[in-house]
Amino acid sequence: MTAIEPHRVVAVVGTGTMGQGIAQVALVAGHTVRLYDAVPGRAEQAATALAARLDRLVGKGRLDASARDTALTRLHPATHLADLSDAALVAEAVLERLAVKQELFAALEDIVADDCLLATNTSSLSVTAVAGALRHPGRCVGLHFFNPAPLLPLVEVVSGAATDPAAAERAYATAAAWGKTPVRCADTPGFVVNRVARPFYAEALRVYEEGAADPATIDAVLRECGGFRMGPFELTDLIGQDVNEAVTRSVWESFFQDVRFTPSLAQRRLVEAGRLGRKSGQGWYAYGADAAPRAEAHTAGPRRAPGSVTVRGDLRAAAALPGLFQEAGIDVVFKEDGGTSCPGWIELCDGARLLLADGAAADHASVPVVHFDLALDYRAATRVALAPAAAATPAALAEAVGLFQALGKDVSVIADIPGMIVARTVAMLADFALDAAARRVAAPEDIDTAMRRGVNYPRGPVEWGAELGARWVRDTLEALHEEYPTGRYAPSQALRRLAAAQEDDAS
């Protein structure tokens, strides 16, 4: 199925930030664009704002002045809905209320041609429900742009239960022709990004609520160790705490209050207090000229590194560490203890072990343990988090801190919490992604593309889970499930099956 031809008209209904962004994308792609808003005068205001947007692009050298002038001749505010009768595609970006969208599309159905696509930009409502009021629901498809639409490449192309496959393919081809990165997905709560991304926020909030670390430290560990572009607290301040909490609550309610999607009470209280983030001047952090300096991540003071360490067994996901120790001038002695079924460790003084976070609390180990967190890349990471058991001596913790400081890393010491920060977050993201793929929400490669291109994850969660190994992800979640037996961390059936298949292949 081919894209909607550039000479065909694209109409946008709803002229807020998102509507203007979609209109700009279509306009720059060469379409004649008609803008309509139910509030008189809003379409004209939006056209003026769009002209200013294009002027800024010219000023930045991203758009030729003649191209701007030509584009503006194709931009037309519409006074009446009937003015959209020649549209080949109508994209709505109106209020996130089902009745409003249904009423709009029912009215459009009497105006536009039979081959006109009706696209909803909803992020939280069911595309199937939006199309439910139509006589011909097959023409309705979800085109979920991300804000700001002109800059962010991802578009989720959502097929409702009644969407005609040809309509979905035409919408997909059109988004691609507009220079976007489209992914196909089914009509399920949160689609791909807002479904799979929930653990990134939820686990950070859980760590905070349990008092294991403060927001600045959690953000720093996920950025500097996990490789994420922004930490969840600073990101939700940017998004808006009310917006992020509303999406979480919507997904949770749509999944019949599934415990895996449970909202955070701490975030709810922040919203109730009016601390919505950057837009209100206060969220997890303060903003504005008069704001107090932002709290810094907890960073341990300098400690002396040992001259040599003993590595016992296979460090698995942290296998790069011994080589880094050697590069730092630390002698490394390898001993094949533990066996292939048991993760390896690094010996510390006083009989303590330095272990990669595995989902269990360090205090449950048979010997004193200091856990270190998972890293996207231990060579590139600039920070590592440590969590000592109560039985670990100050000398053992100091040795662990000094060991990572010798590699040039900042070290954050957090409380002993199962799964620490990065490990539990990545394990949950990988499981959510596998579960979504198994339930045919989207293909695994589309899920990874959506998470990389939509929310800038450093690695797609399916790919990341495969690198770590399904068994590691499953074992980490099973340990977390044992610590928190609520069902929140119970591994999905898809993950269990994949891990079992890997075990069969290894035997």
156 is catalytic: yes
Cβ atoms 34, 83 nearer than 8 A: yes
The one-character DSSP state at 339 is -
Pairwise CA distance, residues 459 & 422, whole Å: 13
Beta carbons within 10 angstroms of residue 113's beta carbon: 9
Number of H helices and number of E strands within the chain?
Answer: 19, 15
**Which residue in the block uniquely carries the two structure tokens 């899920």?**
447
408-442 exposure pattern, b = at least 16 Cβ within 10 A, e = fewer: ebbbbbbebbbbbbbbbbbbbbbbbbbbbbeeebb
Q: Is 74 exposed, middle or buried (0-12, 13-18, 19+ CB in 10 A)?
A: middle
Residue 433, CA atoms < 13 Å, CB-side half-sphere: 30
Cβ atoms 10, 116 nearer than 8 A: no
Q: What residues are paired with 34 via a beta bridge? A: 11, 76
Residue type (1 letter), 276: L
Residue of 121, 124, 159, 194 marked catalytic: 194
Residue of 92, 109, 156, 463 marked catalytic: 156
Q: What residues are paired with 393 via a beta bridge? A: none
Instruction: Classify strands 87-92 and 117-120 as parallel, antiparallel or unpaired.
Output: parallel
Token representation of residue 307: 């001259």
194 is catalytic: yes
How far separated are the first and last CA of the chain, in Å rounded? 46
86-97 exposure pattern, b = at least 16 Cβ within 10 A, e = fewer: ebbbbbbbbeee
Whether the bond into 6 is cis, omega within 30 of 0: no
Q: How far is CA 287 from the centre of its chain?
A: 23
Cβ atoms 332, 309 nearer than 8 A: yes
Q: 307: helix, coil or strand?
A: coil
478 is catalytic: no
Residues 6+ apart with CB under 8 A from 1: 166, 169, 170, 172, 173
Token representation of residue 461: 């969660």
Residue 280, CA atoms < 13 Å, CB-side half-sphere: 19
310's enclosing H/E stretch is strand 308-312
Instruction: Classify strands 32-36 and 9-13 as parallel, antiparallel or unpaired.
Output: parallel
Residue of 121, 123, 126, 250 marked catalytic: 123
Going along 195-291, which residue ranges are E strands?
A: none
Pairwise CA distance, residues 372 & 333, whole Å: 20
254 is catalytic: no
Catalytic residue numbers? 123, 144, 156, 194
